[in-house]
């Protein structure tokens, strides 16, 4: 499909609405993306026509729902070039996937083993590991960041040793947009036999990742960042690792046989999928992936890069505006502040103009501490945004500056 911005915008019903009497300018895509009609239709279709529990019934509706859910798993498998469908575990999202792996490693780590995180992480890729370290006595090491908001790879290489068991890093920082060199991170970790988990929550809407080529051990992401619904995501794990980890939650679906003396667990992927899942969410996630692939990730990345370059140049013309995260390798996220003005105040005025941005620490307080700031204003662009919307953002920021100084 050729990239036609008008056709694309027409796919998203929410983009037609007004906020505070102004056309909505949605620039909070790093928090969650908007949903095309085709994804909304997939949800309505499930509840209207074949709502039933899966993997359990012999009746037609249950079979239909099961087939569609498993079809979605295969779509996700092929999208991420994963070898086996049962290496894809449905979760409620990135946070769930990370907690599942962290829980599993509590039986594999010993005191004084080391695990490595980066300074650029979302809290959901920090806190579960801290809890793991408290439980096991393992030591958490941190890859430092540079002033530009990139990882200090030389420092990373000095942190790795035979004590390192696990490295967990995001592919793209949600707070700054930095694209991390995950291929190098994975290769270096494997040289010391450490496993690697990549948090793909911010990357999945911008980059199509080949998980076999990356040779990553675990990969987690959320559907809602890539035009799918909230409350569903996936964990990819290499089969050998998923077999090694204990189940995370007990319940229905994840068992082979239950007696009061002993329970045996189901095979992958069901071992990690206790309880009734988000069935329509999983199915609509598959639809979202089809939608994005139809547009094409190359076209998306090219267009978003143009928006990023244009918006960066325009915003930098505003006196007193500082952008945090200036690495040359970044996606369409601009985190900034106006001198002497709290980010929350800028966000509030932009909202009055119909412009949705995020303000605050973006669940990445260590990054804010590094820059010694309370937070930033974050504008994050998707492939359905336009240069005209960038212009509205820039004039809105100028207006906020005038009003607040
Ligand atoms: N990691 C990153 C980099 C994120 O951007 C987010 C969402 N902001 C998460 C993890 C958590 O994702 P979720 O809330 O969907 O579990």
Tell whether ligand 1 has an atom less than 6 A from the beta carbon of residue 95. yes
Which atom belonging to ligand 1 lies closest to the Cα atom of 172? 3
- For residue 317, CA distances in Å to 79, 310, 322, 323 come to 40, 11, 10, 11
Percent over 90 (pLDDT), the chain: 98
pLDDT of residue 122: 98
Helix, strand, coil distribution of the chain in percent, nearest 5: 45, 20, 40
Ligand 1 within 6 A of 170 CB? Answer: yes
Active-site residue (options: 133, 204, 227, 363): 363
Give the pLDDT mean for 170-184. Answer: 98
**Three-class secondary structure assignment of 139-172:** EEEEECECCCCCECHHHHHHHCCCCEEEEEEECE
Q: Does any ligand 1 atom lie closer than 6 A to the CB of residue 180?
A: no
Residue 307, pLDDT > 70, answer yes
What is the CATH code of the structural domain delimited by 40-293?
3.40.640.10
Predicted pLDDT of residue 56: 78
The counts of H helices and E strands in the chain are 14, 17
**Per-residue pLDDT for 2 more than 90?**
no
What is the position in ligand 1's atom list of the atom closest to the CA of 363?
8
Q: Are 165 and 294 in contact (CB under 8 A)?
A: no
For ligand 1, the distance from its centroid to the CA atom of residue 365, given in whole angstroms, is: 14
Is the beta carbon of 202 within 6 A of some atom in ligand 1?
A: yes
Counting ligand 1 atoms within 8 A of each CB, the residue from 120, 124, 335 with the most, and so the one to mutate, is: 124
363 as an active site residue: the answer is yes
Distance 96 CA to ligand 1 centre (A): 10
Question: Structure tokens of 193?
Answer: 């036999």
User: Quick check: CB of 93 below 6 Å from ligand 1?
Assistant: yes
Kindly report the CATH number that applies to the domain delimited by 5-30+296-398.
3.90.1150.10
Give the three-state DSSP class for 333.
strand
Q: Is the pLDDT of residue 1 over 70?
A: no
pLDDT tens digits along 129-166: 999 999 999 999 999 999 999 999 999 999 999 999 99
**Does 334 contact ligand 1 (Cβ within 6 A)?**
no
Residue closest to 226 by CA, chosen among 284, 179, 178, 303? 284
Average pLDDT, rounded, for the chain = 97
User: How far is 248 from 238, CA to CA, in rounded Å?
Assistant: 16
In angstroms, what is the span from residue 320 Cα to ligand 1's centroid? 30
Predicted confidence band at 332 (pLDDT cuts at 50, 70, 90)?
A: very high
Q: Is 94 in the pocket of ligand 1 (CB under 6 A)?
A: yes
The domain limits of the chain are 5-30+296-398, 40-293
The Cα–Cα gap between 266 and 247 comes to 10
pLDDT in tens, 179-223: 999 999 999 999 999 999 999 999 999 999 999 999 999 999 999
Protein residue closest via CA to atom 6 of ligand 1? 201
CA atoms in the 13 A half-sphere facing the CB of 199: 28
Closest CA to 377 of 386, 368, 385, 366: 368
Distance (angstroms) between ligand 1 centre and the Cα of 124 equals 7
Tell me if 380 CB under 6 Å of ligand 1.
no
Please state the ipTM of this predicted complex.
Answer: 0.99
Q: Is the pTM of this model over 0.95?
A: yes
For 33-88, the pLDDT digits (tens) are 999 999 999 999 999 999 999 987 789 999 999 999 999 999 999 999 999 999 99
233-251 mean pLDDT: 97
pLDDT tens digit sequence for 244-284: 999 999 999 899 999 999 999 999 999 999 999 999 999 99
């Amino acid at each position: 499909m050729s990239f036609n911005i008008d056709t694309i915008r027409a796919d998203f019903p929410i983009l037609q609405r007004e906020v505070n009497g102004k056309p909505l300018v949605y620039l909070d895509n790093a928090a969650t993306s908007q949903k095309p009609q085709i994804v909304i239709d997939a949800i309505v279709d499930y509840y209207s026509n074949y709502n039933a529990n899966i993997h359990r019934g012999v009746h037609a509706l249950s079979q239909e729902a099961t087939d569609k859910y498993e079809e979605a798993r295969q779509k996700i498998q092929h999208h991420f070039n994963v070898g086996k469908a049962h290496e894809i575990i449905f979760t409620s999202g990135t946070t769930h996937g990370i907690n599942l792996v962290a829980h599993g490693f509590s039986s594999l780590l010993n005191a004084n083993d080391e695990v490595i995180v980066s300074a650029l992480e979302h809290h959901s890729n920090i806190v579960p590991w801290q809890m793991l370290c408290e439980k096991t006595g393992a030591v958490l090491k941190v890859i430092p960041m540079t002033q530009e908001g990139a990882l200090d790879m030389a420092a990373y290489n000095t942190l790795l040793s035979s004590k390192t068991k696990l490295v967990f890093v995001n592919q793209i920082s949600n707070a700054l947009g930095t694209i991390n060199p995950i291929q190098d991170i994975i290769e270096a970790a494997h040289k010391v036999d450490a496993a690697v988990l990549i948090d793909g929550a911010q990357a999945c809407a911008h980059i199509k990742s080949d998980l076999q080529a990356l040779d990553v051990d675990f990969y987690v992401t959320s559907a809602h960042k890539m035009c799918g619904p909230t409350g569903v995501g996936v964990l990819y794990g290499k089969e050998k690792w998923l077999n090694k980890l204990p189940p995370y939650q007990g319940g229905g679906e994840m068992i082979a046989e239950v007696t009061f003396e002993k329970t045996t667990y189901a095979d992958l992927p069901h071992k990690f999928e206790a309880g009734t899942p988000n069935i329509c969410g999983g199915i609509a996630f598959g639809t979202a992936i089809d939608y994005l692939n139809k547009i094409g990730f190359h076209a998306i990345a090219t267009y978003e890069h143009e928006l990023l370059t244009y918006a960066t140049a325009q915003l930098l013309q505003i006196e007193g505006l500082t952008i945090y995260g200036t690495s040359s390798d970044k996606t369409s996220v601009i985190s900034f502040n106006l001198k002497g003005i709290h980010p929350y105040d800028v966000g509030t005025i932009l909202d009055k103009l119909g412009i949705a941005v995020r303000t605050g620490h973006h669940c990445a307080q260590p990054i804010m501490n590094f820059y010694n700031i309370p937070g930033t204003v974050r504008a994050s662009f998707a492939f359905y945004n336009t240069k005209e919307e960038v212009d509205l953002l820039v004039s809105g920021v100028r207006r906020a500056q005038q009003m607040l100084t």
